[in-house]
Amino acid sequence: MKKIGWYIIRILIIALIIYLIIKPKLGSNKIEYTYTLLEKGTIESVVSSTGSLKAINTVEIGTQISGTIKKIYVDYNDKVKAGQLLAEMDLKLLNTNLISAKANLAVNEAKYNQAMEEYERNKALFNDKIISQKEFITSKYNFNQAESAKEVALAALNNIKVSINYAHITSPINGTVTERSVEEGQTVAAAFSTPKMFIIAEDLSKMQILADVDESDIGYINNGLQVRFKVQTYNNIDFFGTVSQIRLQPIEINNVVNYQVVINVNNEEGLLLPGMTTNIEFITNTAENVVLINNSALRFRPNEQMLNEIKQPLLKKVETIFSDTLQNNFKNIINNEAFYTPTNFKKSFPKNIDGFFYLNQKGKLDFKFFEKGIRTGLQSEIKKFMDGSELSTNIKAINGIKSKS
């Protein structure tokens, strides 16, 4: 009996040793996966860009006369009304010229009156044939010349009066002073161009962004499209605007053609300032409360073992999903060893179709075809499963293979 017992013990020990030896080999063909869960949520497709904030209407104000600035009445950020006095030029020289012009006009008016009396007198004498025609013509010429001289003197006087009016710099619009380029006592010269003195923004409660959009993205942009943007100083706040214009003039930036897009922005709270840099997202499409899948599952590349395991189930699925033409193309490709590889696995899918690996209820490797919707860098929308099954978030999509330690 003791010998039989020892035999049984030896057999059990040998069996245990054999089991320990072959156990790793038994489990070597079983693949352990990592997963990502499908979820419901909101997804947006966006086009990104940058731009700068500007007032919708700005006016540069200068002076049309040369001279010294006597007084400035406004500063940066001051609110001004249309017609309000902003600055005043020194009037000393202009007032002197005004006195001189008035005196010159008075002299020419006296000469005009004298010439007119002489002309009227000579006209009567000529009609009575008392004086010669030559004397009459001379008096008429003197009268016309005096009349012209009086008009020139009057024009010179009016010109000085206009210059005096120009010496008072006023605002043409209601707005805010965003720039002041001069100081009191400064001399400005208007001989060749109008010197810029002030810039006034009409209404900073309404602003606009000028954004440069790449030619590859401009087709997604249209008037009325909603825009979301951030500025650095309020990085935790989302601001919104609306596309109002797409300017057709191409602009080349770093050898890439861009188009300028104008975005209208409401700034009633006054948080946004002219010149701020904006990071912009044009919201080209939005879907709410839809089933989403992490793109890691769509980028996952199966290994050769998975490809061989899924081959027959795939052939059966396409018979109920694809048209005859697509079925034949897919079957030709899936039976082509050179093309049916982890790298080329999905290249035969139609553009609107994608799919992911998962384990079905029996615990076997399976593949789920679906119609794609909006896609971002992180997630994709699942519009429907091509096999007609319910859109459920209780599916774990395979997105990786666990490394064996």
CATH code for position 77: 2.40.50.100
Strand pairing report for 85-89 and 67-72: antiparallel
CA torsion through residues 298, 303, 309, 315, sign: positive
Least confident range of 77-81, 229-233, 312-316: 312-316
Examine the domain organization and report whether 157 and 177 are in the same domain: no
Examine the domain organization and report whether 351 and 313 are in the same domain: yes
CB within 8 Å of 206: residues ≥ 6 apart: 56, 264, 265, 266, 267
Examine the domain organization and report whether 100 and 226 are in the same domain: no
Q: Does the structure show a pLDDT above 80 at 69?
A: yes
Domain contains 334 = yes
Examine the domain organization and report whether 184 and 144 are in the same domain: no
Residues 99, 102, 103, 108, Cα dihedral to 10° = 160
How does DSSP classify residue 220?
G
DSSP string, 283-301: EEEEEEEEEEEEHHHHH--
Over residues 140-148, mean pLDDT: 88
CATH number for the domain harbouring residue 262: 2.40.30.170
Tokens of 272: 């946004």
Domain contains 115 = yes
Domain contains 360 = yes
pLDDT score, position 130: 80
pLDDT score, position 383: 94
Domain contains 223 = yes
Domain contains 23 = no
pLDDT score, position 245: 94
Q: Does the structure show a pLDDT above 80 at 77?
A: yes
pLDDT score, position 334: 78
CA 321/CA 389 separation, integer angstroms: 12
Is the CB of residue 294 less than 8 Å from the CB of residue 397? yes
Examine the domain organization and report whether 73 and 182 are in the same domain: yes
Q: How far is CA 187 from CA 164, 181, 182, in A?
A: 16, 12, 9
**Based on the structure, what is the number of domains in the chain?**
4
- Residue 251: which H helix or E strand, with range? strand 239-253
Q: What is the pLDDT of residues 317-338, one digit of tens each?
A: 888 877 777 778 777 777 777 7
Q: What is the pLDDT of residues 39-66, one digit of tens each?
A: 999 999 999 999 999 998 888 888 888 8
Examine the domain organization and report whether 110 and 193 are in the same domain: no
Domain contains 67 = yes
How does DSSP classify residue 271?
-
pLDDT score, position 18: 62
Q: Does the structure show a pLDDT above 80 at 191?
A: no
Domain contains 326 = yes
Q: What is the pLDDT of residues 249-276, one digit of tens each?
A: 999 988 899 999 999 999 999 899 999 9
CB within 8 Å of 260: residues ≥ 6 apart: 210, 211, 212, 213, 246, 247, 249, 251
Is the CB of residue 272 less than 8 Å from the CB of residue 265? yes
pLDDT score, position 209: 95
Least confident range of 2-11, 110-119, 224-233: 2-11
197-225 CB burial, b ≥16 within 10 A, e <16: bbbbbbebeebbbebbbeeebbeebeeeb
Is the CB of residue 125 less than 8 Å from the CB of residue 95? no
Q: Look at residues 76, 93, 104, 77 and name the one whose alpha carbon lies nearest to residue 167.
A: 93
Examine the domain organization and report whether 51 and 126 are in the same domain: no
Examine the domain organization and report whether 66 and 151 are in the same domain: no
Over residues 183-207, mean pLDDT: 83
Q: What is the pLDDT of residues 323-377, one digit of tens each?
A: 777 778 777 777 777 778 888 888 778 888 899 999 988 889 999 999 999 998 8
3-state helix, strand, coil in the chain (%, to 5): 35, 35, 30
Examine the domain organization and report whether 283 and 295 are in the same domain: no
For 173, what's the count of Cα atoms within 13 Å in the CB-facing half-sphere? 15
Over residues 294-308, mean pLDDT: 91
Examine the domain organization and report whether 314 and 380 are in the same domain: yes
Give the confidence band of 26 by pLDDT, cuts at 50, 70, 90: very low
pLDDT score, position 27: 44
Residue 191 burial (10 A CB sphere; 0-12, 13-18, 19+) = exposed
Examine the domain organization and report whether 72 and 186 are in the same domain: yes
247 three-state secondary structure: strand
The answer for 221, left when phi > 0, alpha when psi is -120 to 50, beta otherwise, is beta
Tokens 């082509």 belong to 336
CA 389/CA 394 separation, integer angstroms: 12
Look up the domain containing 368 and give its range. 33-42+291-401
Domain contains 4 = no
CA 71/CA 307 separation, integer angstroms: 85
Task: List, as own/partner pairs, every contact residues 248-251 make where C-beta atoms lie below 8 angstroms and the sequence separation is at least 24, other chains included.
Answer: 250/215, 251/212
Give the confidence band of 12 by pLDDT, cuts at 50, 70, 90: low
Examine the domain organization and report whether 147 and 78 are in the same domain: no
Average pLDDT, the chain: 86
